[in-house]
Amino acid sequence: MSFYDAKKKYDGFDFNKFSADITGTDIETILAKETLSETDFLALLSPEAKKHIENIARKANLTAAQHFGKSILLYAPLYVSNFCTNNCAYCGFSTNNNIKRKVLTFEEIEKNCKVVAGYGIRHILLLTGESNTKTPIEYLKKCVEILRNYFESVDIEVYPLDENGYKLLGDCGADGLTVYQETYDEEIYKSLHTNGAKADYAYRLETCERAGRAGYRNLNVGALLGLNDFVSEIFFAGLHAEYLQDTFPSAEIGMSFPRIRPAAGGFRPKTIITDSDIVQAMCAVRLFINRINLTVSTRESRSLRNNLIPLGITKMSAASSTAVGGYAGKGSEGQFKINDTASVEEVKRMIYEKGYQPVLKDWLVF
């Protein structure tokens, strides 16, 4: 059974009614537990739980310290192409957007690698738009091989592959996969993805399972917050992460909390996600899945990232560029606008000031 099948038990579930029935006593009872059920997790996402956020955050802090200590891994994204065959209403790379398109040459990739490695970063995330003609598997294999010459860990965020495709990139040195379902609501998903391979909801939802079977040691999921209501999206993303942890116990499972940022196309979010929503989501996930990597990217402001550090974050991007080739010279238009432009040294200093240790080498590399 896949997560697509497992998720069906919540078809027709009334999230609003469930949240409205949660009381302060319910939250206190949940916080006294060592292990949380799915409904406990959902209760921690309710409006009532927000009234108890200080106690929830305190327990999330203790839980993260118990499982991860006070280390935060720094990484950087590297975009090598923005060609895309998908029409995604919210994305700057959408095929309908009139932007300058580019695929980096291998020489250009080397130049960008040298810049990022010069920051001290040793963990890289390889990203492309979703076009298997402009960036075919052979191109991706060469990209991974080049990146492994500069970085000790290489994760990928590319168009969904079959199991054999992930095995091929894994054999070249890819360690992990990040893939966002964008929205876990299948009907909303279909309305937002009207063209291209990404229109297949179920195939995308099962992407991490194919990578898990191919032996990837890092699997990272998330929803693009703002496309649908906050509670159900975080709930299903959390259940997805739990499912992957149970299915692939030798893998490290992670979750990100990306919010919609301004991008080409001018898409406006359906739901406004506040900073307090992000705090609540991260704390709830940490208490539901104690041993999970939680990532915050430069989509978020410097002040919010600073304040999230004690709440269970284990990974942060730094000195990011979402433009193709954006580290070595002027890149093309980025996928979205960066919010935190702090340098790696500034991010390290911010982490130290919070009493934590920035880590440039992935401690999970064997």
Residue 263 domain flag = yes
Residue 151 domain flag = yes
Residue 344 domain flag = yes
Which residue range(s) make up the domain with 138?
3-14+69-359
The answer to whether the CB of 236 falls within 8 A of the CB of 7 is yes
Residue 183 domain flag = yes
Residue 137 domain flag = yes
Structural domains counted in the chain: 1
> pLDDT 10s digit of each residue in the chain, 366 long?
899 999 999 999 999 999 999 999 999 999 999 999 999 999 999 999 999 999 999 999 999 999 999 999 999 999 999 999 998 888 888 888 888 899 999 999 999 999 999 999 999 999 999 999 999 999 999 999 999 999 999 999 999 999 999 999 999 999 999 999 999 999 999 999 988 889 999 999 999 999 999 999 999 999 999 999 999 999 999 999 999 999 999 999 999 999 988 777 678 888 899 999 999 999 999 999 999 999 999 888 999 999 999 988 999 999 998 889 999 877 666 677 778 899 999 999 999 999 999 998 654 433
Residue 123 domain flag = yes
Give the span between the Cα atoms of 349 and 201, in whole angstroms: 41
pTM as predicted? 0.94
What six digits make up the tokens of 139?
């191109």
What CATH number is associated with residue 143?
Answer: 3.20.20.70
**Amino acid occupying residue 9:** K
Residue 169 domain flag = yes
Q: No. of H helices and E strands in the chain?
A: 16, 9
Residue 296 domain flag = yes
